[in-house]
């Protein structure tokens, strides 16, 4: 059984045009999250916290996953892709060699709650063509738990309480698993995926009881390698995101929207962007 070995607190910050977010990221924890780079959460019913959105900006060298829980977000990119994702929908974008895109709230009031996750690409894929997938809520695999909980499988091939489930995405080299799990009070679930791969759990509501420890709201738990991961809802249950992936164990050079393997590659990305050669 995997064991909880570390807790990481989300940090309040701003991004885009003044959007208030809670973030887990940073050079000091890149190796711990590997192959993931960042988890951002937006959760506010005050439009001034999110209305500025994320105007057009570039990316190179990784993938972004946007998952909505409430509200609406419009995406546009240089490839001509445009669409609105809302509660339960997912946008999976591969920046690869380069992408220019914007993400803007499609609302002026009410609750906006969603996540953006950055997933690294291996060195031999960082310059592949950009790509985009919209995954509608009804395409996300769901499994109801016996005590009333729910597991939504955005990505991955795994077992949930011994039952095999597969998400809507094809197999990727980083072997990503991404789950949205709802647990009632004291309800537990056992998850099985590649025992060598990273196991991360982000609590976005409620708490988890893990043996003699507790994971609270806006905390991420880092778990050891192991055959299975068992998580249990606290007194008031829990809503969590579960992540797993195959560590790349490669050097990371990141500056702003570019994630490469060397400083020289990052400098080239900036040069390409300035010279309109990024895309």
What pLDDT is attached to residue 68? 98
* The pLDDT of residue 278: 97
Mean predicted lDDT score pLDDT of the chain: 97
Residue 6 has pLDDT above 90, yes or no: yes
**278, part of any domain:** no
**Mean pLDDT in residue range 146-165:** 97
User: What percentage of the chain carries pLDDT values higher than 90?
Assistant: 98
pLDDT for res 220 = 98
At residue 245, the pLDDT reads 98
User: Residue 194 maps to which CATH number?
Assistant: 2.60.120.10
CA-to-CA distance for 202 and 69, rounded, in angstroms? 14
* CA 149/CA 160 separation, integer angstroms: 12
Q: Residues 30-53: what's their mean pLDDT?
A: 97
Contacts 24+ apart (CB under 8 A), 159-163: 159/191, 159/192, 159/193, 160/189, 160/190, 160/191, 161/189, 161/190, 162/190, 162/192
pLDDT at 212 over 90: no
The pLDDT tens digits for 7-31 are 999 999 999 999 999 999 999 999 9
The residue-averaged pLDDT of 159-174 equals 96
Is 188 part of any domain?
yes
Q: What is the DSSP letter of 148?
A: S
Give DSSP secondary structure letters for 13-50.
EEETTTEEEEEEE-GGGHHHHTTEEEEEEEEES-GGGT
For residue 183, is it within any domain? yes
Based on the structure, what is the number of domains in the chain?
Answer: 1
Range of the structural domain that residue 58 is part of: 4-269
Longest Cα separation, the chain = 57
Name the helix (H) or strand (E) containing 134. Answer: strand 131-135
User: Is 277 a domain residue?
Assistant: no
- Cα–Cα distance measured from residue 173 to residue 97, given in angstroms and rounded to the nearest whole number: 17
Tokens of 178: 């991404």
Answer whether residue 58 is part of any domain: yes
pTM, two decimal places? 0.97
pLDDT at site 122: 98
The answer to whether position 279 is within a domain reads no
Token digits of residue 267: 């400098």
**Residue 239 confidence class, pLDDT cut points 50, 70, 90:** very high
Q: What would the mean pLDDT of 146-168 be, rounded to a whole number? A: 97
> 262-272 pLDDT, tens per residue?
999 999 999 99
């Amino acid at each position: 059984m995997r064991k909880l070995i570390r807790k990481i607190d989300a940090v309040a910050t701003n991004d885009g045009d003044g959007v208030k977010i809670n973030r887990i990221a940073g050079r000091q924890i890149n190796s711990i999250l590997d192959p993931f780079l960042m988890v951002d959460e937006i959760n506010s019913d005050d439009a001034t916290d999110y209305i500025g959105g994320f105007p057009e900006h570039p990316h190179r060298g990784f993938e972004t996953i946007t998952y909505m829980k409430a509200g609406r977000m419009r995406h546009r990119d240089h490839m001509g892709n445009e669409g609105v994702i809302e509660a339960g929908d997912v946008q999976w974008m591969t920046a690869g060699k380069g992408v220019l895109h914007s993400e803007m709230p499609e609302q002026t009031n009410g609750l906006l709650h969603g996540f953006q996750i950055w997933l690294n690409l291996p060195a031999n894929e960082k310059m592949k063509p950009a790509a985009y997938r919209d995954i509608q809520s009804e395409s996300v695999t769901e499994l109801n738990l016996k005590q009333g909980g729910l597991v939504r499988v955005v990505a991955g091939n795994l077992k949930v309480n011994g039952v095999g489930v597969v998400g809507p995405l094809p197999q990727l080299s980083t072997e990503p698993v991404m789950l949205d799990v709802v647990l009632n009070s004291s309800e537990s679930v056992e998850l099985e995926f590649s025992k060598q791969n990273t196991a991360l759990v982000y609590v976005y509501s409620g708490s988890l009881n893990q043996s003699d420890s507790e994971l609270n709201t806006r905390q991420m738990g880092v778990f050891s390698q192991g055959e299975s991961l068992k998580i249990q809802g606290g007194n008031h249950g829990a809503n969590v995101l579960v992540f797993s992936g195959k560590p790349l164990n490669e050097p990371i050079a990141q500056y702003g929207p570019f994630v490469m393997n060397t400083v020289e590659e990052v400098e080239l990305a900036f040069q390409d962007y300035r010279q309109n050669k990024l895309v």
